[in-house]
Structure 1
Amino acid sequence: MFTGIVTAVGEIRESRQSGDLRCVIACPFDPAGISMGASIACSGVCLTVVDKGGVAGDAWFAVDISAESVSRTVPGRWAQGRKLNLEPALKLGEELGGHIVTGHVDGIGEIVSITPVGDSKRFVVAAPAELAPYIAAKGSITVDGVSLTVNEVEDQPSGACHFTLNIIPHTAEVTTIGQMGTGDAVNLEIDVLARYLQRMQSLKS
């Protein structure tokens, strides 16, 4: 489990296909604190550490990414040189600073517009129709691994929806979101409580 509070931005140093896709990700972590078999969320995707190395502040870890995970995430996200939001798995007793995040991507969204509002930026993101029922104003959503609060939701005639986010300067600075632009695709994970509530509601009908 994760919280959606990104602790570092990493970069894919190497990406090679050998059965599953293996990526080597450079990061500012201490390799002594990375356990083999540990889970790390990489731009919202829960992946397992299969190798590691480097030194404190200049470490790396390797992950194997299945074809299923590749197919459900932003195309090209696992290419060499791409930056990733990183978050180690939540430990028992740690502060839940964001919201409960599983690291399982539910769909892909697209940034429709970015508008400055004071020092912050207002992002409008398009979500596919299958996710629209799970997105609510003042609810939580994970965008590329970042826990964010939905400000508004506007339903579209197609069944899809547009939702707005307020990105403060700190979030833009410490995550990859600050480097994104209109038209960029993002990994989306809906709030886990909304997922179960929708499932229970569907069984009643």
Structure 2
Amino acid sequence: MFTGIITDIGTLKSVTRDTGGEWGDTRMDVSCIYDTSTIDIGASISHAGACMTVIEKGPDWYAFEVSDESLSKTTMGDWKEGRKINLERALTGADELGGHLVTGHVDGVGTLTSREEIAGSIKLDFSAPDHIAFGIAPKGSITVDGVSLTVNDASGSTFSVNIIPHTAQATTLGGLQVGDEVNLEIDLIARYVARYLGHMKASGA
């Protein structure tokens, strides 16, 4: 689990495709400022909102593997060497829950449709896939590239958020341009409410 509070911006050092097997995974190496001596092999780290498992590490870097499924369901399929990535280590019992509960399981890929600077902050409008629009509500929570944000407005499959200067500087969101794609995760509670209502409707209750 994560909180959506970014703790580092990593840099993608390399992308290596394993063609040895029938499917083959893609290995990605990330440089970071984390003290990697405190990161266990097998630990979970959120990468722009996608939870990945550490398989190898060095003094200022670590590596993870991405399945074809994750590549096809997130923005990771387009990642190239040099890309900046929002990072968050997994939540511990002693951490402050400053954002909201985030699973690191991406629900869909959204697109930035407009960007407007307003009194120092930045208003970002996104389009979201139709199948997750039900879980995006005004004043609710959403995760955009791993960042916990509050939804300002939502209509149909579009929604808007505001980011303050600190968020713009401390994450990759400040550099987003119209047309850029982002990983989206809807609020955990919204998922289960929708599942429950779907069950009730199917059962005729």
TM bin, normalised by shorter chain, reads over 0.9
* Contact kept in structure 1, 2:70 and 2:76, CA below 8 Å: no
Which residue matches 1:143? 144
Does 2:70 align with 1:74? no
Q: Which residue of 1 aligns with 2:89?
A: 88
Structure 1 residues without counterparts, runs of 5 or longer: 156-160
Q: What amino acid is aligned across from residue 142 of structure 1 in structure 2?
A: T
What is the one-letter code of the residue matched to 2:163?
I
Which residue number in structure 1 is paired with residue 178 of structure 2? 182
* Cα distance in 1 for residues equivalent to 2:165 and 2:200: 43
The 8 Å contact of residues 115 and 178 in structure 2, kept in 1 or not, is answered as yes
Please say if residues 4 and 101 of structure 1, whose CA atoms lie closer than 8 Å, have aligned partners that are also in contact. Answer: yes
Residue aligning to 1:198: 194
TM-score, scaled to structure 1: 0.94
State the shift of 1:76 in Å.
4.4
C-alpha separation in 2, matches of 1:167 and 1:121: 5
* Structure 1 ranges of 4+ moved more than 4 A: none
Answering whether residue 49 of structure 2 is matched by residue 53 of structure 1, we say no
Q: TM-score, normalised by structure 2?
A: 0.94
Counterpart-to-counterpart distance in 1, 2:32 and 2:136? 32
Which residue in 2 is equivalent to 1:7?
Answer: 7
* Alpha-carbon distance in structure 1 between the residues aligned to 2:78 and 2:44: 18
- The code of the aligned residue for 1:131 comes to I
Aligned partners of 1:34, 1:77: CA distance in 2, in Å?
26
Partner in structure 1 of residue 159 of structure 2: 163
Task: Give the partner amino acid of 2:106.
Answer: V
Counterpart in 2 of 1:104? Answer: 105
Counterpart Cα distance in 2 of 1:74 and 1:10? 16
Corresponding residue for residue 27 of structure 1: 32
Partner of 2:48: 43
Q: Per the alignment, in what secondary structure is the counterpart of residue 164 of structure 1?
A: strand
Q: Secondary structure at the match of 2:37?
A: helix
State the distance in 2 between where 1:122 and 1:202 align: 33
Map residues 125-140 of structure 1 onto 2, 5 A cutoff.
Answer: 125-140=126-141
Distance 1:163 1:44 in 2: 18
Root-mean-square deviation (CA), in Å? Answer: 0.9
Give the aligned partner of residue 158 of structure 1.
none
Residue 77 to residue 92, structure 1, CA distance change in 2 (3 Å): farther
The alpha carbon displacement at 1:113 in A equals 0.2
Q: What is the CA-CA distance between 1:176 and the residue it aligns to?
A: 0.5
Taking only the aligned residue pairs, the percentage that are identical comes to 49
Q: Distance in 1 between matches of 2:40 and 2:93?
A: 16
| Residues 23 and 78 in structure 1, CA contact (< 8 A), matched pair in contact too | no
How far residue 149 of structure 1 moved from its aligned partner, in angstroms, is: 0.3
The CA deviation string for residues 17-72 of structure 1, in whole angstroms up to 9 with x for no partner, is 01200000000111111111100000000000000002xxxx10000101111110
